[in-house]
């Protein structure tokens, strides 16, 4: 029997205590996050290639290839607000989603909230396995922010 996992965390983007880090505008952050969705191989070395198969207003469908296998997912984009990635409807994780949302509780105080709802996991798993999975998500999200920041600063 398959089970679900919910995990969320926040990453601070602009930090007044960190003079060394360049501050990003909301538009720069959005452009960087969008780039990580268009080129997921920047984040995950196991991805051999990715391609966009369909683009409609506010939505795209992409294919991600690893070795001989391919998965398809759908990304909903709300400009300067959020990205919502829905897993392949035919895969083991069908129904799983990742929402990446920009939050700005005060002017220029940017955060990114990552919300994972993962379906298709084994019912019989332990807390250590879930903890390791959540830690991997957190590490991946930190890398996503690094790549988004890098792209934003290179293009801006």
Domain harbouring 22, CATH code:
3.30.530.20
In this predicted structure, what is the pLDDT of residue 48? 92
Q: What residues have CB less than 8 Å from 8, skipping those under 6 apart?
A: 113, 114, 115, 116
The whole domain housing 135 covers: 2-155
> Within a 10 A sphere around the Cβ of 129, how many other Cβ atoms?
13
Q: Which comes out higher in pLDDT, residue 146 or 124?
A: 146
In this predicted structure, what is the pLDDT of residue 91? 67
Total domains in the fold of the chain: 1
- Computed over every residue of the chain, the mean pLDDT equals 88
In tens, the pLDDT along 35-85 reads 999 999 888 888 999 999 888 999 999 999 999 888 889 999 999 999 999
Q: For residues 37 and 85, what is the distance between their CA atoms, to the nearest angstrom?
A: 9
How would residue 15 be classed by pLDDT, with cut points 50, 70 and 90? confident
Q: What does DSSP assign to residue 14? A: -
């Amino acid at each position: 029997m398959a089970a679900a996992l919910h995990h969320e965390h926040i990453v601070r983007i602009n930090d007044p205590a960190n003079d060394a880090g360049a501050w990003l505008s909301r538009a720069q952050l959005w452009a960087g996050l969008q780039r990580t969705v268009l080129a997921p191989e920047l984040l995950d070395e196991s991805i051999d290639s990715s391609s966009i198969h369909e683009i409609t207003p506010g939505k795209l469908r992409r294919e991600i290839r690893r070795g001989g296998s391919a998965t398809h997912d759908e990304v909903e984009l709300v400009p300067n607000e959020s990205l919502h990635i829905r897993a392949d409807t035919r895969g083991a994780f069908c129904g799983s989603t990742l929402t990446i949302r920009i939050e700005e509780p005060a002017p220029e105080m940017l955060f990114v909230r990552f919300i994972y709802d993962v379906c298709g996991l084994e019912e019989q798993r332990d807390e250590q396995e879930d903890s390791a999975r959540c830690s991997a998500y957190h590490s991946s999200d930190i890398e996503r922010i690094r790549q988004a920041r890098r792209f934003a600063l290179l293009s801006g």
